[in-house]
Amino acid sequence: GVAMAKSKFEYVRDFEADDTCLPQCWVVVRLDGRNFHRFAEKHNFAKPNDSRALHLMNKCAQTVMEELEDIVIAYGQSDEYSFVFRRKSNWFKRRASKFMTHVASQFASSYVFYWKDYFEDQPLLYPPGFDGRVVVYPSNQTLKDYLSWRQADCHINNLYNTVFWALIQQSGLTPVQAKDRLQGTLAADKNEILFSEFKINYNNEPLMYRKGTVLIWQKVDEVTTKEVKLPAEMEGKKMAVTRTRTKPVLLHCDIIGDAFWKEHPEILY
């Protein structure tokens, strides 16, 4: 293009800080809903898990993966989502602020845009926001451990919340009483309370609640109907056409063990 004439003000650009992410490293952007404890209450989220809200989060994450470049895997639970950019990505010259702000704004606008598809009878009462952070991981092991950390967090919180809300909703305890009852209990104790008092086998709770959601690119067959052009005698007829597309696919599987990474070696190639 034509070189722009520089004004005498141009020097202020030099005040911009360099925030290039270290080369050859995994770049992770994690978003988290701002004050979603309140947001969930105001919008009548089911407790402990509102599946509409989780499906909406997943839809936003799929949109982020499709709209932005170079995301190889994403993991979400509760009001948070992590996005991993491939090691060799040179998107926006690896500037951390570009990664983070594009992810956060695309996610937040998608949350509002798709709200009504998931919350049919619940109006959106105010504009939600998301914070973002960037963390750079230098090895496959540290990246796997990061994702394991988020999934372990999902498990710990969900086990706690499942018992906590059963005590409130089914035993009539107040939140303070439920909290006191769970003070100092271990995972085994919580499983035991669930089973003996509520006949709930925690392992039969929905996978999306227990494991969160993993998004990876996979080939899927897409069936569309197309108007037939030829031959002439079939003019105007419609027929099913199958074509293969690569899409962000939702999984609710374990990513802490080795099995997932052995099954999908292409993610961390």
Mark the binding-site residues for GTP, compressed into ranges: 32-37, 78-79
**Residues contacting 164, CB < 8 A, separation 6+:** 48, 175, 178, 179, 182
* 34 part of the interface to ligand ATP, by CB under 6 A: yes
53 binds, among ligand ATP, Mg ion, none (CB under 5 to 8 A by kind): ligand ATP
Contact residues toward Mg ion (CB under 5 A) are: 32-33, 36, 78-80
User: What is the DSSP pairing of strand 26-33 with strand 238-251?
Assistant: unpaired
One-letter amino acid at 45 equals F
* 107 part of the interface to ligand ATP, by CB under 6 A: no
45 binds, among ligand ATP, Mg ion, none (CB under 5 to 8 A by kind): ligand ATP
* 78 part of the interface to ligand ATP, by CB under 6 A: yes
Q: Where are the beta strands (DSSP E) in the chain?
A: 26-33, 71-77, 80-85, 130-137, 213-227, 238-251
Rounded to a whole number of angstroms, the minimum distance from the CB of residue 235 to ligand ATP is 42
One-letter amino acid at 242 equals T
d(CA 131, CA 126): 16
| 96 versus 154: smaller Cβ distance to Mg ion | 154
* 35 part of the interface to ligand ATP, by CB under 6 A: yes
| 34 versus 238: smaller Cβ distance to ligand ATP | 34
* 115 part of the interface to ligand ATP, by CB under 6 A: no
**Beta partners for residue 220, in sequence order:** 245
* 208 part of the interface to ligand ATP, by CB under 6 A: no
216 binds, among ligand ATP, Mg ion, none (CB under 5 to 8 A by kind): none
Closest CA to 58 of 78, 76, 37, 31: 76
Structure-token pair, residue 8: 């005498």
Q: According to CB under 6 A, which residues from 43 to 72 bind ligand ATP?
A: 45, 47, 49-50, 53-54
| Binding test (CB under 6 A) with ligand ATP, winner from 36, 83, 107, 137 | 36
* 243 part of the interface to ligand ATP, by CB under 6 A: no
* 37 part of the interface to ligand ATP, by CB under 6 A: yes
Which segments of 36-91 does DSSP mark as H helices, in order?
36-42, 51-67
**Residues contacting 230, CB < 8 A, separation 6+:** none
Rounded to a whole number of angstroms, the minimum distance from the CB of residue 68 to ligand ATP is 12
Structure-token pair, residue 106: 């695309």
Q: What angle do CA 207, 212, 215 make, to 5 degrees?
A: 110
Residues that bind ligand ATP (CB under 6 A): 32-37, 40, 45, 47, 49-50, 53-54, 78-79
